[in-house]
Amino acid sequence: MARILGIETSCDETAAAVVEDGHRVIGEAVATQIEIHKKYGGVVPELASRNHVVDIVPVVEEAMTRAQVGWSEIDAIAVTQGPGLVGALLVGLQVAKALAYAHDKPLIPVHHLTGHLHAVHLHTPDAPRPEAPALPHVALAVSGGHTALYRVDGPEQVRRIANTRDDAAGEAFDKVARMLGLGYPGGPIIERLARQGDPSAHRFTPPRFKKGNPLDFSFSGLKTAVLTVIKGFNGALPEGQPLYDLIASFQAAAIDQLVDRCGRAAESEGVEGVVLAGGVACNGALRAAARAALEAKGLKLYVPPPRWCTDNAAMIASAAEGRPLGEGLAPVDQRLNALGTWQLSAARS
């Protein structure tokens, strides 16, 4: 059995988790910075880095305490190496390297999106292990930074088959909420208010591409269309029912696009299942629409519980499971050397 400590600091969550065998989450802790960034309407990178510095050690300690394990019972340390905010990533990487060095554990760098795609395997010890999606399958990673479709043939065989041409879906939710003065992050606020609106109040046409991959995504036209409606309110922001109707129509258009691509990608790749991952996959309306549309085509939907859709460290530990220890270490080690490891080695010897 492998027991891996995962560390994630790529954006505005400082997270640590201990995961057994790539799926059983025995302890985790998250310090969210939402309250800090809220007043700026988005993540301020420098503030994110500084708060990771404050939170990371207590968060790791908390995850270890909840898991009821000591360092001798940890087999490896996994850490998000990117993509993400550089200063924020650096905090997690430095702490992971220091811990790996101090406790003599292998260090496994993990790609953030690979992490998101692994969230579907996670469960707590008191819950049954979720059914693993059959291979091959199609996975949609849909977050504040990414909206892309992948064909997954195995843990190490992941090929991107479509991408967004402009904004990520989560970014569109955040920007629309910001345009309407609703706060940050936009996704959960929009989901809540959209429940009171009529999704057919505004007809937003889906993007059409003249060339290139028809499975690609685009959300900037939808965002501009929402702005045009807002301008029609002559300087005031919509409130009450008109606001709810606009939001519900925006959300429906965004969801239609995501669900449409998932269905078509699954059919063209000849797979039987689709995985949803990333922060936007928390959205209940998206989950319900994807389930209905995919099941109507005889396809199966796999989606992690919301807490593992948004950024978390359990998915990072899960993605590291089964990776040959040491694989991928070279680039991190080079950076480590550049940052003065020799001094650490000298101190140890």
Per CB under 6 A, 133 contacts ligand KG4? no
CB 54 within 8 A of CB 91: no
Q: Looking at 31, 282, 301, 303, which residue binds ligand KG4 (CB under 6 A)?
A: 282
Residue at token pair 């569109």: 172
Amino acid found at 167: D
167 or 311: CB nearest Zn ion: 311
- Secondary structure (DSSP) of 34-79: HHHHHTTTS--HHHHHHHHHHHHHHHHHHHHHHHT--GGG--EEEE
Per CB under 6 A, 191 contacts ligand KG4? yes
Q: How far is the CB of 312 from ligand KG4 (least distance, A)?
A: 8
Q: Looking at 92, 115, 278, 304, which residue binds ligand KG4 (CB under 6 A)?
A: 278
Per CB under 6 A, 311 contacts ligand KG4? yes
Q: Which does 147 bind (CB under 5 to 8 A by kind): Zn ion, ligand KG4, none?
A: none
> Rg of the Cα trace of the chain?
21
Indicate the pairing of strand 13-20 with strand 3-8: antiparallel
- Secondary structure (DSSP) of 69-116: --GGG--EEEEEEESS-HHHHHHHHHHHHHHHHHHT--EEEEEHHHHH
**Rounded (5°) CA angle 229-230-232:** 65
DSSP 8-state assignment for residue 24: E
**Rounded (5°) CA angle 172-174-180:** 100
Q: Looking at 80, 81, 249, 283, which residue binds ligand KG4 (CB under 6 A)?
A: 283
State residue 209 phi and psi, 5-degree precision. Answer: -100, 130
Q: Which does 115 bind (CB under 5 to 8 A by kind): ligand KG4, Zn ion, none?
A: none
Q: Looking at 22, 27, 188, 273, which residue binds ligand KG4 (CB under 6 A)?
A: 188
Q: Binding mask 278-317 vs Zn ion (x if CB under 5 A, - otherwise)?
A: ---------------------------------x------
Q: Binding mask 4-33 vs ligand KG4 (x if CB under 6 A, - otherwise)?
A: -------x----------------------
83 or 199: CB nearest Zn ion: 83
91 or 252: CB nearest Zn ion: 91
* Residue ranges binding ligand KG4 (CB under 6 A): 11, 143-145, 170, 173-174, 185-188, 191, 278-280, 282-283, 310-311
Which residues here bind Zn ion, judged by CB under 5 A? Answer: 143, 311
